């Protein structure tokens, strides 16, 4: 029992250290956002603000069109997530239920597309968007975000649908359900942890996208948060208090979303680990 208590204590201390290291950058951002511009530029710099000033969290909304940035990010991230699920769920279901020549190679090649970063294709995307007249539009961000996240979604949901016994769907077909009704009423509820996992992954990936948005969008009120808050990075000066205040505000929606569906996410990532 003593060894068990020591091991528990060591794991607890290790967890506290890892948690502190993970939260340290955000704490530094908060402390900097609570400083005045003069305190940030002071030499030598101080860790804690001498005069706590939380007005930066309010003035950031007027210093730049922050509300428009937030709205654009929500539109792009939500639209991309919906498109990913609309494409990924039927594709994953088909791959799990039907066998065809080259199926394994297709799955392998599909997951290999995750190796390529959007930045490597941004020039080609820009030329295509000029040809189709999609420059400076939300669709120009939603489509590539969904395309880059679709491979992971299909690969993940394929495993969930494959773990669902086909006999459950066959029983639904015998009871009078069509194939689509069997999918909606039987398979989708059972695969919900995986669907939520794919949704949160796609949402966060679209929320954090920067390079394509910086290249494609030019209208100020259409820029997402990742591009909008870069306005505080000047050529000769950086507005650190507003930059960090805006960054912390941009993190809040994702943290709330993660807290709401955390239990589904954990179930989705660990499903199939134990037989």
Question: What is the model's pLDDT at position 19?
Answer: 86
Instruction: Check whether 84 has a pLDDT greater than 90.
Output: yes
**Mean local confidence (pLDDT), 32-38:** 84
Which domains are assigned to the chain? Answer: 64-270 (1.10.3720.10)
Per-residue pLDDT at 264: 66
Phi, psi of 18 (to 5 degrees): -65, -40
- pTM, to two decimals: 0.82
Least confident of 111-120, 176-185, 233-242: 111-120
Distance from C-alpha of 136 to C-alpha of 129, rounded to nearest angstrom: 9
pLDDT single digits (tens) 15-30 = 889 988 988 888 888 9
DSSP structural state of residue 234: -
Buried residues in 179-190 as b, exposed as e (16+ CB within 10 A): eeebbeebbbee
Does pLDDT of 159 surpass 60?
A: yes
d(C-alpha 154, C-alpha 29), whole Å:
36
Report residue 268's pLDDT band, with 50, 70 and 90 as the boundaries. Answer: low
Give me the half-sphere count of Cα atoms (radius 13 Å) on the Cβ side of residue 261: 19
d(CA 102, CA 119): 30
Using CA atoms, how far apart are residues 204 and 206, in angstroms rounded to an integer? 5
Helix or strand (DSSP H, E) at 84: helix 66-97
User: Does position 273 have pLDDT exceeding 50, yes or no?
Assistant: no
Over residues 210-231, the pLDDT tens digits come to 888 888 888 888 889 988 888 8
Percent of the chain with pLDDT over 90: 9
């Amino acid at each position: 029992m003593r060894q068990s208590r020591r091991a528990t204590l060591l794991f607890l201390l290790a967890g506290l250290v890892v948690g502190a290291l993970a939260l340290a950058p955000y704490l530094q951002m908060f402390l900097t956002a609570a400083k005045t511009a003069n305190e940030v530029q002071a030499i030598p710099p101080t860790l804690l603000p001498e005069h706590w000033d939380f007005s930066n969290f309010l003035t950031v909304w007027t210093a730049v069109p922050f509300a428009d940035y937030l709205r654009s990010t929500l539109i792009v991230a939500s639209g991309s997530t919906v498109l990913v699920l609309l494409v990924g769920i039927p594709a994953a279901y088909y791959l799990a239920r039907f066998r065809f020549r080259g199926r394994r190679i297709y799955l392998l090649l599909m997951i290999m597309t995750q190796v390529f970063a959007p930045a490597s294709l941004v020039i080609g995307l820009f030329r295509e968007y000029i040809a189709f007249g999609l420059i400076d539009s939300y669709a120009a961000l939603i489509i590539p975000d969904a395309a880059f996240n679709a491979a992971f979604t299909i690969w993940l949901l394929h495993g969930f649908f494959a773990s669902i016994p086909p006999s459950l769907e066959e029983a639904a077909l015998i009871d009078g359900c069509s194939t689509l009704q069997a999918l909606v009423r039987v398979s989708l509820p059972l695969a919900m942890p995986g669907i939520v996992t794919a949704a949160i992954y796609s949402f966060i990936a679209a929320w954090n996208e920067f390079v394509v948005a910086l290249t494609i969008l030019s209208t100020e009120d259409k820029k997402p948060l990742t591009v909008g808050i870069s306005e505080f990075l000047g050529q000769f000066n950086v507005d650190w208090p507003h930059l960090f205040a805006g960054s912390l505000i941009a993190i809040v929606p994702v943290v709330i979303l993660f807290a709401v569906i955390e239990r589904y996410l954990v179930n989705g990532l660990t499903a199939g680990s134990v037989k």
